[in-house]
Copies of this chain bind each other. A is one copy, B any other.
Amino acid sequence: MTARPVSEIGAAVVGTGFIGVVHVEALRRLGVQVLGMVGSSHARASERAAALNLPPAYESFEAMLGDPRVDVVHITTPNHLHYPQAAAALAAGKHVVCEKPLAMTSSESGELVRLAQTTRLVNAVNFNLRFYPICRHLHQLVGEGGLGDVRLVSGHYLQDWLLLDTDWNWRLEPELGGSLRAVADIGSHWMDLTSHIAGQRIVSVMADLKTFIPTRQQPIGPVETFSSKTSGAATARTITTEDCATILLRYESGAIGNLTISQISAGRKNTLEFEIDGSTSAAAWNSEHPDDLWIGHRGRSNEILPRDPAILNAEGRAAAGLLAGHNEGFADTFKALYRAIYRAVAGDGPSEPDYPTFADGHESMLACEAVARSAREGTWASVERTAPTLPSPARGGG
């Protein structure tokens, strides 16, 4: 069977925020037809569609689902909508690319895994960081034993966009963002990325969560993610989700890990760092300088591997879009990720997905829930992997 041309595949993007736009542009770069957006209101979606020179926005999520030209649905809405929208899209026969976290609970994410398995549709979670070419390269390198046995995985993910008590975003509201905030929003990226690269599943965690700003000023009206504008009028709101988390990790192989997460670290805009120490060599990466990989050695010079297609291994080279020295950024990871996903949609991918799936999204939910449990109880908590149960018929379809 020949693969379908990507230019004949249609996609719709649900959600009109910052990240929705990044989805749209990456799809366009690949030549996918972006048929339209869905917004929290039709007016908002229409405004965004015009700004992006897109076709008219869909009237509603349901209207979009009813459009037979739509093959793939990208879900970039607030977290509480991921589960019902993903379930509904699968039920409508659409392939789904969903932002992380995949759901509000592991019960929901487990159901989505089952639904996806049943439908055999492409199901992906937007852990885009995996698709920095350097991260792909390192994934292969570690898998081939390039660092020896993995022993220690450490690092942090720091931001400052919620430093002040006047900073507001829907993620602060547990009913929209979930009961975990910093851990679910950015800690999930760190844990997914490092577990994926290190080839190590987390078995238990010991976490400390801290809400340094117990009361915040919620402005009247909507607020963009990362925006620092405040109109003035605001209401005091009690905050229950964490500003920071410190987490010890233990992996299946006996390796250990350590992670610091913060959304209140002044001057850190969006810094993910990790180091993986193996029995022979080590590797470190910083998301703010993503084209360089530090490789550490004993008894000889350390290395800086550039994102040079002539040097990268097969996985790294496949994700690279530009020549060496022509630096790639955040937006480029979406293109590389969707190239892999749409190859699968086109029926042209490898037999095993080479992109993050709902199963990875579910794994992430389980790790986050262990973090929450550990922090609540003040003890080590296991990541409780049970086979996802079949979704109850009543909920299927969202």
Contacts and interface: CB of A to CB of B under 8 A. Distances in A.
A331 B328 contact: yes
Interface of A: 5-7, 18, 22, 25, 28-32, 50, 52-54, 147, 151-152, 154, 156, 158-161, 163-164, 206, 208, 210, 212, 225-228, 243-244, 246, 248-250, 254, 256-260, 262, 264-271, 275, 277-282, 287-291, 294-306, 308, 310-311, 321-332, 335, 378-380
Among all A-B residue pairs, the 9 with the closest Cβ atoms: A267-B296, A270-B325, A31-B53, A269-B325, A329-B329, A7-B53, A269-B324, A301-B303, A246-B258
Given A210-B256, A306-B302, A282 B311 contact: no
B330 A322 contact: yes
Contact of A29 (B25, B248, B323): B25
A154 B246 contact: yes
Contacts of A151: 210, 212, 243-244, 264
Nearest to A305: B301
Contacts of A158: 275, 277
Contacts of A259: 258
A208 B257 CA distance: 9
A303 B306 contact: no
Chain A interface, DSSP helix/strand/loop, else mixed: loop
A325 B256 contact: no
Given A248-B246, A379-B379, A297 B208 contact: no
A311 B301 contact: yes
Contacts of A310: 227-228, 299
Contacts of A264: 151-152, 277, 279
17 contacts: A5-B53, A29-B29, A31-B53, A151-B212, A152-B244, A152-B246, A158-B277, A161-B324, A210-B256, A248-B248, A258-B258, A262-B277, A265-B282, A266-B297, A267-B298, A268-B282, A329-B332
B208 A260 contact: no
A375 to B, nearest CB: 10
Given A206-B208, A327-B330, A301 B298 contact: no
Contact of A260 (B147, B258, B270, B280): B258
Contact of A277 (B18, B164, B266, B306): B266
Given A29-B28, A279-B212, A301-B304, A322 B22 contact: yes
A208 to B, nearest CB: 5
A300 B304 CA distance: 9
Nearest to A265: B277
A291 B294 contact: no
A324 B265 CA distance: 14
